[in-house]
Chains A and B, each alone.
Chain A
Amino acid sequence: MDFLSIDVGTILFTLINTGLIFLAFKLILFKRIDAILEQRQKEVTDVYTKADQALKSADSDKEKYAQAISGAKEEAETIIRRAEKIAQKQGDSILEKARHEAQAVREKATLETEREKNLARTELQGEISDLAMELAEKIMEKEINNADHERLIDDFIQNIGEQS
């Protein structure tokens, strides 16, 4: 071949060769690298989306927990208040009951005393009438004189004093 010549055959071959090397670049290098870059981009986007979601859910969790804690506080307060009320009521009722019981005991004691008194009085009366009967019998048996009479009454009174 000449040093500087235009050769149609070489031009055609070079055209085909350039096309081949272009196809090699397009179909091997660029296609594959583009695909991997796109995939990486997608993965990065995925990671970001996931991170955003995690952040959002963490925030909502935080809020939920805060709400739960404040709810728990309220609940605790309610429980305490209720307990206080119950304790108050119970204490009141215990006191009331004690007072009632004391009252009852006192009343019972009064009644008992009264009854004892009555009993004593009844017994005394019985005794007096017995003595009166005895005295009447004795008067009937002996002829009562003034001195005897006086002595009898003194005995009687003395008897009453001893009895009571």
Chain B
Amino acid sequence: MSISDFLRGSPDGVDVSGPKIVCSFDLGGLTINLTETVVLSWVIILAVTLLLLWLTSDLKTKNISKKQAVAEWAVKTVYGLVEDTMGKRWQWFAPYIGALFTFSILGSLISMLGLRSVTADFNVPLTWALITFVLIHGTNIKTHGFGGYLKGYVDPVPVMLPINILSEVATPVSMSLRHFGNVVSGMVITSLLYYALSVLTAKIGVAFMTIGIPAVMSLYFDLFSGFMQAFIFIMLTMVYISNADGNAET
């Protein structure tokens, strides 16, 4: 939606679409699409990398700067969260949790710059959920052995096998769809609201409705929802994995 639409009211209907394809190429018969999502992810990665480099430059042990205090707080918070949820021996997992949380929250919040949310592309939360899925089952096999892992599917009675398999498959599906659904519904509602308000503006001729109300709505749908979904996603990831790791001390 351009600024002129915003001020005058959109003449066209609301359009909610998937991510645009920037370019696509062939890789052994497989069409690889370089979409808006991927490009924006790169922007986020670049921004995050620069931010981290800036935060961790000129570290000291005494008389620390404010940015160092922020960096230390962030690291300690993530360590504390991972330790509380998964136990001390999973501390090495903390960087992944921090990275996932940051990627998710920035991927959602990028919509506030008028860009398309990275997490509003189902493939993104799906990828993360698949990573979690692999980690869950990998941990399970590592902890219980392959036999023990397979035996888990017929537990407590063999009749439970289909239900157990379904529950395992449901985990990544529910995780990814929850994240995607929340972000994308926020996006759709915001778009509809903008459209409705701009129609109203077009009727009245003054752009007072489009200022204020969307900001409040955006506070919930972008900031709150984006934060909540990122948090829920990392919490579920940690809980599922530490559940698979049966002998974790917590």
- B41's nearest neighbour on chain A, judged by CB, is A17
Which one of B55, B95, B124 lies within 8 Å of A26 (CB-CB)? B95
CA distance A101 to B198 in the complex (A): 140
Do residues A11 and B75 form an inter-chain contact, with CB atoms below 8 A? no
B74-92 vs A, CB cutoff 8 Å, 1 = contact: the mask equals 1100000000000000000
A48 adjacent to chain B (CB < 8 Å)? no
B196 adjacent to chain A (CB < 8 Å)? no
Which residues on the B side are within 8 Å of A105 (C-beta)?
Answer: none
Do residues B33 and A7 form an inter-chain contact, with CB atoms below 8 A? yes
Do residues A8 and B18 form an inter-chain contact, with CB atoms below 8 A? no
- A44's nearest neighbour on chain B, judged by CB, is B61
Segment 88-109 of A: residues with Cβ below 8 Å from B: none
Which residues on the A side are within 8 Å of B20 (C-beta)?
Answer: 1
Which one of A13, A21, A34, A39 lies within 8 Å of B38 (CB-CB)? A13
Prevailing SS type, chain A contact patch: helix
Q: In angstroms, how far is the closest chain A Cβ from the Cβ of B42?
A: 7
Prevailing SS type, chain B contact patch: helix
CA distance A1 to B33 in the complex (A): 9
Segment 11-64 of A: residues with Cβ below 8 Å from B: 11-15, 17-18, 20-22, 24-26, 28-30, 32-37, 39-40, 43
A2 adjacent to chain B (CB < 8 Å)? yes
- A30's nearest neighbour on chain B, judged by CB, is B95
Do residues B126 and A11 form an inter-chain contact, with CB atoms below 8 A? yes
CA distance A30 to B71 in the complex (A): 9
Q: In angstroms, how far is the closest chain A Cβ from the Cβ of B182?
A: 14
CA distance A13 to B24 in the complex (A): 13
Q: A5-B122, A34-B75 given as contacts; is B99 within 8 A of A14 (CB)? A: no
Q: A1-B33, A29-B74 given as contacts; is B18 within 8 A of A10 (CB)? A: no
Do residues A24 and B45 form an inter-chain contact, with CB atoms below 8 A? yes
- B19's nearest neighbour on chain A, judged by CB, is A1
- A4's nearest neighbour on chain B, judged by CB, is B122
Segment 142-193 of B: residues with Cβ below 8 Å from A: 180, 184
B32 adjacent to chain A (CB < 8 Å)? yes
Do residues A33 and B18 form an inter-chain contact, with CB atoms below 8 A? no
Which one of A9, A24, A43 lies within 8 Å of B99 (CB-CB)? A24
Which residues on the A side are within 8 Å of B30 (C-beta)?
Answer: 8-9
Which residues on the B side are within 8 Å of A18 (C-beta)?
Answer: 99-100, 103, 127-128, 131
Do residues B75 and A29 form an inter-chain contact, with CB atoms below 8 A? yes
Which residues on the A side are within 8 Å of B37 (C-beta)?
Answer: 10, 13-14
Which residues on the B side are within 8 Å of A40 (C-beta)?
Answer: 61-62
CA distance A5 to B31 in the complex (A): 14
Do residues B55 and A29 form an inter-chain contact, with CB atoms below 8 A? yes
Which residues on the A side are within 8 Å of B48 (C-beta)?
Answer: 21, 24
Do residues B61 and A36 form an inter-chain contact, with CB atoms below 8 A? yes
Do residues A7 and B49 form an inter-chain contact, with CB atoms below 8 A? no
CA distance A35 to B72 in the complex (A): 11
Which residues on the A side are within 8 Å of B35 (C-beta)?
Answer: 1, 7, 9-10
Do residues A1 and B21 form an inter-chain contact, with CB atoms below 8 A? yes
Do residues A30 and B32 form an inter-chain contact, with CB atoms below 8 A? no
CA distance A147 to B104 in the complex (A): 179
- A34's nearest neighbour on chain B, judged by CB, is B75
Which residues on the B side are within 8 Å of A7 (C-beta)?
Answer: 33, 35, 123
Apart from A17-B42, A29-B55: 13 A-B pairs, beta carbons within 8 A = A3-B16, A5-B18, A9-B30, A10-B35, A10-B123, A14-B127, A21-B99, A22-B96, A28-B49, A30-B94, A32-B71, A36-B59, A37-B75
The 7 closest A-B pairs by CB, nearest first: A1-B18, A9-B32, A10-B123, A26-B95, A14-B127, A25-B99, A32-B56
28 contacts between A and B (CB under 8 A): A1-B18, A1-B19, A1-B33, A3-B18, A5-B122, A9-B24, A10-B33, A13-B38, A15-B131, A17-B42, A17-B103, A18-B99, A18-B128, A21-B44, A21-B99, A21-B103, A22-B95, A24-B99, A25-B99, A25-B102, A28-B52, A29-B52, A29-B55, A30-B75, A30-B98, A32-B71, A35-B59, A36-B61
